[in-house]
């Protein structure tokens, strides 16, 4: 009796997708905002798992360090800026027509995915694309072949920083 | 792939270590469960509202998190790339140095801590 | 890819072959779970003894014959049987499960840290960034736990811890960048192997100082003791933790201490390189204990740093020194001065 100890990639993908989706649903539906932030953090970790499955380990680490490490902290801080009584109910369920909107968007997504799958034909594979991206290859490529995006990134980050500083300054 | 499975297997058993005794869920007792304030009765709400003045620090952390990650990608390939790319990264750092200086000047000038 | 035995007589050899396989040994025994639990318990005892000697007392004495060495086990048993009090209207789920998640996070980076040439669980090419990414999740969990215990002292302590850890993570990363430039790799095994002839503390001495200070700040050790300011905040962000929950948090904190000490050893002090009369993992552990001693000693000596000085130190002085040392390292590597040592 032979048992494969290495798990086939599809099962890992399904588990990761389930975790990510459930966390995202938690992030949207939670009554306490903190639970929403935690759900967001877990879904970010799930996406990092997807990066690992796609053979891009450095991107996965980048995702965890930046998103789960910094952005979730920022979101938590912003949540605590908002004063809210414990157990406050905002809007009753069903008033905003959320069920109908959800069904409509799900239908649109299903039609578009089916269309893409039909156009792709028999080449729709479930295995990750070939080719690895080790860090030793990613590092040089990132710096040599994309100098303009680097500079634009620097300008973008500076703009974000200055904007936030302006906001914090006016609030005095 | 195998290292991902190994990492998960590695941390899984450690999860059960401290939680060997399942503590029962008791009824909430206002007196016993009062938050600890060295004896005096706590007044007011515990989760106060934060001030907006601390926002620059967290945002600086986010920005420099991204910068740090890019610098790591550059650091490992430093000897193999032409000098022009390193100068680009230097420009990257200098462009971010100006808002950093301004942020620090603004944040450190106030005595709001 | 493994043949399960169908014959009942073969089950015992099969189990033995799994237990003695290298993967299992590194995962469970060394540097795995058993070693981590033993090491962090030993560190709790070691800290109490060391601080006691600095403060001219004796420390744990009665539990276990050679100087109270079984004290951590006694503490663990006591904490398991204590009552867990969840504060009034606190968030019960988060309060219960976040300490467990912290222990999980504390053990996860050890999967990539090498204790010897063959003693590493998962030799990732992105090892260093993996360690930094997982340790950057700590501040968010601490602030969630502090929020979950519906009480003022933990909340203030949690916020202070958040700002402190966030301020000192960036200089830590940038000072590790100097090491990465010297070793030209993020793989921790390669970084230690590159220190075969010269330990990185010598070319990157300023980075070592910055990294060490940031490690002390990350671990919330005196003099960076604000989140746990005992005369002010009782116990900071874990005031409301009691019983098993406190044991989990305590374990997580000392795991983090061991992790940071091991990281300093691997990055700057040459990992396992030493004269060959001792096996390689022993050298790593010895050096880690020396680093841990230097982290623990200031707790008995220094007063606490003030909060605005803390922020100023982290964001201005340390960051600029770390960046300066990165440029210095670039110049050193470029000029080829270190080629005699293979760098």
Of C4, C124, C144, the CB nearest to A38: C144
Closest residue of chain B to C248, computed from CA coordinates: B18
Distance of residue C303 Cα from the nearest chain A Cα, in angstroms: 29
* Residues 6 or more apart whose Cβ sits within 8 Å of residue C87: B33, B34, B35, B36, C95, C149, C150, C151, C240
Listed by start position, the domains of chain A span 8-84, 134-172
pLDDT bucket at C258, cuts 50 / 70 / 90 = very high
- C17 vs C187, which has greater pLDDT? C187
Beta strand residue intervals within chain A, DSSP E: 2-3
In this structure, what are the phi and psi dihedrals at residue A3, rounded to the nearest 5 degrees? -130, 130
In C, minimum Cα distance to A62 occurs at C133
How many domains is chain C built from?
1
Give helix B83-109 / helix A147-170 axis angle, nearest 10°.
0
Asked if A135 and C126 come within 8 Å (Cβ–Cβ), the reply is yes
- Give yes or no for residue C310 having a pLDDT over 70: yes
Residue C123 touches chain A, beta carbons under 8 Å: no
d(CA B86, CA B89): 5
Burial of C100 (0-12, 13-18, 19+ CB in 10 A): buried
The dotted CATH code for A8-84 is 1.20.120.1200
User: Is C49 within the bounds of a domain?
Assistant: no
Report pLDDT for A4.
Answer: 40
Contact (CB<8Å) A70/C144? no
Q: Identify the pLDDT of residue B97.
A: 85
pLDDT band (50, 70, 90) for residue A1: very low
pLDDT at residue number A39:
94
State percent of chain A over pLDDT 90.
23
Tokens of A147: 């100098």
Contacts of the segment A87-91: beta carbons below 8 A, 24+ positions apart:
A89/A31
Residue-wise over A129-140: b if at least 16 C-beta within 10 A, else e? eeeeeebbebbb
What are the residues whose beta carbons fall under 8 Å from the beta carbon of C80, sequence distance 6 or more?
B20, B21, C243, C244, C247
Angle, nearest 10°, between helix axes C152-183 and C205-218? 160
What does the pLDDT read at residue B42?
Answer: 63
The more confidently predicted of residues A64 and C150 is A64
Residue C170 within any structural domain of the chain? yes
| Chain C residues touching A65 at Cβ < 8 A | 129, 132-133, 136
| Selected residue with higher pLDDT from B45 and C108 | C108
Least confident residue range of A129-143, C89-103, C135-149: A129-143
Looking at residue C171, its pLDDT comes to 93
Residue C55 in any domain: the answer is no
Q: What is the ipTM of this complex?
A: 0.85
Q: What pLDDT score does A130 carry?
A: 59
Report the pLDDT value the prediction gives residue B34, as an integer from 0 to 100: 67
C141 domain residue, yes or no: yes
pLDDT tens column, B36-92: 666 566 666 666 666 777 777 888 899 999 999 988 888 888 777 777 888 888 888
Within its chain, how far is the Cα of A49 from the centroid?
Answer: 11
Least confident of A21-30, A34-43, A127-136: A127-136
- A-facing residues of B in 54-93 (CB < 8 A) are 54-56, 58-63, 65-70, 73-77, 80-82, 84-86, 88-89, 91-93
Report how far residue C5's alpha carbon sits from residue C23's, in angstroms, rounded to the nearest whole number.
Answer: 20
- A42 to chain C, closest Cα gap in Å: 11
Domain interval for residue C201: 84-341
CA of B21 vs chain C CAs: smallest distance (Å): 7
Helices assigned H by DSSP within C149-229: 152-183, 188-193, 205-218
Burial of C128 (0-12, 13-18, 19+ CB in 10 A): buried
Asked if residue C288 has pLDDT above 90, the reply is yes
Share of chain C above pLDDT 70, in %: 93
B11 vs C contacts (CB less than 8 Å): 104, 107-108, 111
Question: What's residue C1's pLDDT?
Answer: 44
The lowest-confidence range among A25-29, C68-72, C168-172, C200-204 is C68-72
Chain C: touching chains (3 or more CB pairs < 8 Å): A, B
Are C199 and C274 contacting, i.e. CB atoms less than 8 angstroms apart? Answer: no
- Residue A2: pLDDT band with limits 50, 70, 90: very low
In chain B, how many H helices and how many E strands?
3, 0
Report the pLDDT value the prediction gives residue A109, as an integer from 0 to 100.
92
CA-closest candidate to residue B27, choices C92, C226, A10, C116: C92
Residue C91 tokens read as 């968030």
Mean pLDDT to the nearest integer, C272-298: 88
What's the pLDDT tens digit per position in C26-80? 777 777 778 888 888 899 999 988 989 888 888 888 777 777 788 888 888 888 7
- B101 lies within 8 A of chain A by CB: no
Residue C188 pLDDT > 70: yes
What is the secondary structure of A148-162 as a DSSP string?
HHHHHHHHHHHHHHH
Q: What is the enclosing helix (H) or strand (E) of A85?
A: none
- pTM equals 0.87
Bridge partners (DSSP) listed for residue C3: A2
Q: The tokens of A58 are what?
A: 């450095």
Task: Give A77's contacts in chain C (Cβ within 8 Å).
Answer: 143, 162
* Predicted confidence (pLDDT) per residue in A40-96, tens digit: 999 999 999 888 887 788 889 999 999 999 999 999 888 887 756 555 555 556 566
Q: What is the mean pLDDT of chain C?
A: 83
Cis peptide before C31 (omega within 30 of 0): yes
Q: Which of B96, B93, B109, B92 is nearest to B60 (CA)?
A: B96
Alpha-carbon gap, residue B107 to B58, rounded angstroms: 12
Confidence of residue B1 (pLDDT cuts 50, 70, 90): very low
Are C110 and C78 in contact by the 8 Å Cβ rule? The answer is no
pLDDT, residue C294, reads 92
Q: Count the neighbouring beta carbons within 10 Å of the beta carbon of residue C227.
A: 24
Decide if C27 is inside a domain. no
Predicted confidence (pLDDT) at residue B11 exceeds the cutoff of 70 = no
Is C204 within 8 Å of B75 (Cβ atoms)? no
**Whether A73 and C147 lie within 8 Å, measured CB to CB:** no
Classify residue C88: in a domain, yes or no.
yes
pLDDT surpasses 90 at C260: yes
Neighbours of A97 (CB within 10 A): 9
pLDDT at C230: 56
User: Binning pLDDT at 50, 70 and 90, where does residue C131 land?
Assistant: very high
pLDDT at C176 over 90: yes
d(CA C110, CA B19): 21
């Amino acid at each position: 009796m032979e048992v494969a100890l290495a798990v086939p990639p599809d099962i890992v993908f399904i588990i990761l997708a389930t975790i990510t989706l459930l966390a995202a649903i938690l992030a949207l539906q939670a009554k306490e905002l903190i639970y929403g932030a935690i759900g967001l953090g877990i879904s970010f970790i799930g996406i990092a798992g997807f990066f690992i499955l796609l053979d891009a380990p450095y991107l996965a680490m980048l995702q965890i360090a930046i998103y789960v490490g910094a952005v979730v902290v920022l979101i938590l801080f912003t949540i605590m800026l908002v004063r809210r009584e414990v157990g406050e109910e905002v809007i009753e369920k069903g008033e905003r027509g959320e069920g109908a909107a959800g069904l409509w968007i799900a239908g649109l997504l299903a039609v578009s995915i089916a269309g893409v799958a039909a156009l792709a034909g028999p080449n729709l594979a479930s295995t990750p694309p070939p080719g690895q991206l080790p860090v030793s290859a990613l590092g040089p490529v990132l710096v040599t072949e994309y100098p303009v995006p680097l500079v634009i990134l620097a300008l973008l980050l500076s703009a974000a920083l200055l904007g936030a500083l302006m906001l914090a300054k006016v609030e005095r | 792939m195998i290292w991902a499975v190994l990492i998960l297997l590695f941390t899984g058993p450690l999860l059960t270590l401290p939680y060997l005794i399942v503590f029962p869920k008791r009824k909430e007792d206002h007196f016993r469960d009062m938050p600890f304030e060295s004896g005096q009765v706590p007044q007011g709400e515990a989760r106060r509202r934060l001030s907006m003045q601390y926002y620059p620090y967290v945002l600086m952390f986010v920005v420099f998190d991204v910068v740090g990650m890019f610098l790591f990608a550059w650091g490992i390939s430093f000897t193999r790339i032409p000098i022009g790319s390193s100068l680009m990264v230097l420009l990257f750092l200098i462009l971010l140095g100006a808002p950093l200086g301004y942020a620090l000047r603004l944040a450190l000038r106030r005595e709001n801590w | 890819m493994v043949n399960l035995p169908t014959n009942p007589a073969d089950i015992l050899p099969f189990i033995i072959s799994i237990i003695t396989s290298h993967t299992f040994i590194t995962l469970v025994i060394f540097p795995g779970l058993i070693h981590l639990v033993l090491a962090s318990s030993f560190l709790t005892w070691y800290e109490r003894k060391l601080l006691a000697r600095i403060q001219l007392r004796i420390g744990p004495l009665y539990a276990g014959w050679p100087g109270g060495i079984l004290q951590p086990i006694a503490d663990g048993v006591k904490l398991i049987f204590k009552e867990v009090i969840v504060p009034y209207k606190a968030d019960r789920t988060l309060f219960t499960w976040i300490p467990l998640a912290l222990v999980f996070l504390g053990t996860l980076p050890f999967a990539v840290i090498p204790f010897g040439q063959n003693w590493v669980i998962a030799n990732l090419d992105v090892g260093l960034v993996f360690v930094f990414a997982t340790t950057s999740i700590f501040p968010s969990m601490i602030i969630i736990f502090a929020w979950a215990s519906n009480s003022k002292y933990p909340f203030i302590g949690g916020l202070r811890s958040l700002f402190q850890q966030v301020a000192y993570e960036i200089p830590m990363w940038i000072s590790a960048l100097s090491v990465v430039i010297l070793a030209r790799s993020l793989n921790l095994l390669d970084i230690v192997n590159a220190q075969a002839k010269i330990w990185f503390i010598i070319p990157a001495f300023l980075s070592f100082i910055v990294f060490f200070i940031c490690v002390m700040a990350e671990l919330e050790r005196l003099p960076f003791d604000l989140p746990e300011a005992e005369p002010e905040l009782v116990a900071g962000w874990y005031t409301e933790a009691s019983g098993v929950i406190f044991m989990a948090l305590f374990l997580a904190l000392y795991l983090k201490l061991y992790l940071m000490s091991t990281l300093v050893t691997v990055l700057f002090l040459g990992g396992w390189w030493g004269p060959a009369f001792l096996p390689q993992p022993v050298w790593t552990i010895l050096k880690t204990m020396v680093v841990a001693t230097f982290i623990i000693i200031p707790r008995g000596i220094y007063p606490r740093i003030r909060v605005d000085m803390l922020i100023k130190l982290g964001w201005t002085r340390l960051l600029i020194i770390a960046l300066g040392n990165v440029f210095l390292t670039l110049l050193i590597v470029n000029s080829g001065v270190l080629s005699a040592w293979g760098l």
